[in-house]
């Protein structure tokens, strides 16, 4: 990372006891592990560590699909418990288009991890335990993509890979959108805007690829909608998740009534990645939970 960024942001790059007390006043006390005393807003480092947890997941997913291996060990250390990754493997891509954009996304996600770790310094959290096998089967079962007792392998073929990527990408965009207003350091806010834009490009490519696949097999549109509906059921009462439409009426860009991408709170994101409609500290893609202060969802009530 450029030295100017570190010199600008270093004053916000460590989570203190005060930071943790400030965080607890903003979110539901059950959402974080902080002391509920105090007030104010969460530290920028707390917010960026939440993003780092998400970037670990995306980087491991795409790297394993395109290279057969994940992040190097030196990029997975930090505060909290370092976990292992279960599942994952090279996809035998049949489409050069899908293979090439997957490889580019993998590179971007690895750079995001490196960027956030450098910005956070000693405050960066370690990679938590990540599931890339049982979690996808659970998600596909809940969405009705597969029958109870069947398994879903996101690395089996191009289409499965695209379904799995769809699960992540819109969530990443909405997570950055939802947290932007909480950042107080303008340098961090600028960085978050850049990360959000990159994730939005990724999401657009994945959605376009799925639409194209649906033109050859229109059952794809229904499967994508099922995944969207499953996410929508997990993230709270708002009806703000969208599929890719139909052949005649595509929906490449999920937006609100103002033509803007929608945001999700940390709690809503946790409900999705933990695959839980009730308050949870772990589950789904993070079988031992996330590292950092924001680690427990609030349920969908």
Hey, how many other C-beta atoms are within 10 angstroms of the C-beta on 215?
Answer: 11
300 pLDDT band, cuts 50/70/90, is low
Kindly state the percentage of the chain with pLDDT values over 70. Answer: 85
Residue 172 lies inside a defined structural domain of this protein: yes
Residue 119 lies inside a defined structural domain of this protein: yes
Query: pTM of the entire structure?
Result: 0.86
pLDDT higher than 80, residue 14: no
Kindly state the percentage of the chain with pLDDT values over 90. Answer: 69
Residue 83 lies inside a defined structural domain of this protein: yes
Output the six-digit token pair for 56.
Answer: 């670990």
- Report d(CA 145, CA 78) in Å as an integer: 37
Please tell me the total count of domains within the chain: 1
Residue 245 lies inside a defined structural domain of this protein: yes
Q: What confidence tens digit (pLDDT) does each residue in 211-231 have?
A: 999 999 999 999 999 999 999
The parent domain of residue 149 ranges over 42-274
pLDDT higher than 80, residue 111: yes
Residue 104 lies inside a defined structural domain of this protein: yes
Residue 163 lies inside a defined structural domain of this protein: yes
pLDDT computed for residue 38 by the predictor? 36
Residue 252 lies inside a defined structural domain of this protein: yes
Output the six-digit token pair for 70.
Answer: 């994940």
Q: How many residues does the chain have?
A: 301
pLDDT computed for residue 40 by the predictor? 52
- Report d(CA 181, CA 47) in Å as an integer: 11
Q: How far is CA 95 from the centre of its chain?
A: 25
Residue 287 lies inside a defined structural domain of this protein: no
As a whole number, the mean pLDDT across the chain is 87
Q: What confidence tens digit (pLDDT) does each residue in 52-103 have?
A: 999 999 999 999 999 999 999 999 999 999 999 999 999 999 999 999 999 9
- Asked whether the beta carbons of 261 and 273 are under 8 A apart, the reply is no
Q: What confidence tens digit (pLDDT) does each residue in 117-159 have?
A: 999 999 999 999 999 999 999 999 999 999 999 999 999 999 9
pLDDT higher than 90, residue 298: no
pLDDT computed for residue 21 by the predictor? 43
Give the side-chain half-sphere CA count within 13 A for 248.
0
pLDDT higher than 80, residue 28: no
């Amino acid at each position: 990372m450029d030295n100017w960024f570190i010199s600008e942001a270093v004053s916000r790059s460590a989570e203190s006891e005060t930071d943790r007390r400030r965080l607890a006043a903003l979110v539901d006390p059950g959402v974080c592990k902080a002391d509920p005393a105090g007030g104010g807003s969460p530290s920028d480092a707390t917010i960026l560590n939440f993003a780092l947890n998400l970037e670990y997941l995306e980087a491991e997913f795409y790297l394993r699909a395109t290279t057969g291996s994940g992040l190097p060990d030196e990029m997975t250390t930090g505060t909290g418990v370092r976990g292992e990754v279960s599942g994952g493997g090279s996809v035998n891509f049949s489409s050069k288009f899908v293979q090439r954009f997957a490889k580019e996304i993998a590179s971007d996600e690895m750079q995001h991890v490196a960027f956030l770790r450098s910005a956070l310094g000693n405050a960066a959290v370690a990679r938590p335990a990540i599931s890339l096998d049982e979690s996808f089967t659970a998600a596909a079962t809940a969405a009705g993509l597969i029958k109870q007792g069947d398994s879903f392998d996101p690395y089996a073929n191009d289409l499965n890979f695209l379904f799995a990527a769809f699960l992540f990408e819109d969530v990443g965009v909405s997570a950055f959108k939802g947290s932007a207003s909480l950042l107080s350091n303008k340098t961090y806010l600028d960085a978050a805007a850049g990360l959000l834009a990159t994730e939005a490009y990724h999401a657009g490519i994945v959605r376009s690829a799925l639409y194209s696949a649906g033109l050859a097999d229109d059952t794809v549109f229904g499967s994508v909608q099922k995944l969207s509906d499953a996410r929508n059921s997990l993230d709270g009462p708002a009806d703000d998740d969208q599929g890719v439409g139909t052949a005649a009426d595509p929906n490449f860009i999920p937006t609100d009534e103002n033509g803007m991408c929608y945001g999700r709170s940390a709690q809503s994101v946790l409900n999705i990645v933990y695959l839980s409609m009730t308050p949870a500290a772990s589950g789904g893609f993070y079988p031992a939970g996330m590292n950092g202060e924001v680690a427990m969802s609030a349920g969908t009530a």
